Amino acid sequence: MTRMPPRMTPFPTLNEDDLRRTADAVCYRSDPEAWFVDTGDREAVARVKSICAECPVRTACLEIALRTDEPHGIWGGMTPAERQRMKGAAA
């Protein structure tokens, strides 16, 4: 599959540096809606997390979500609630 051009990224919070860091992300080769699942749907969340676990830029993705306080979607293999707990624990 072809990679989405940066101007069409489903993640508007990414700056140019972030786009370069995440160019090989699995989410660039899939339906953007797949990463914004209902967090109450455990099967859907587990499916997305398993894909994230194999992504070569998972750590960079998580760092971006934490830095930008991204309130939606699975980023770096973590739900918004998990990211908030992680940030709270680090404070």
The pLDDT of residue 90: 74
The pLDDT of residue 15: 67
Here the contacts of 69-77 (C-beta below 8 Å, separation 24 or greater) are 70/13, 72/36, 73/35, 73/36, 74/35, 74/36, 74/37, 74/45, 74/48, 74/49, 75/35, 76/52, 77/49, 77/52, 77/53
Stretch 47-64: mean pLDDT: 90
**Which of 10-19, 27-36, 79-88 holds the top average pLDDT?**
79-88
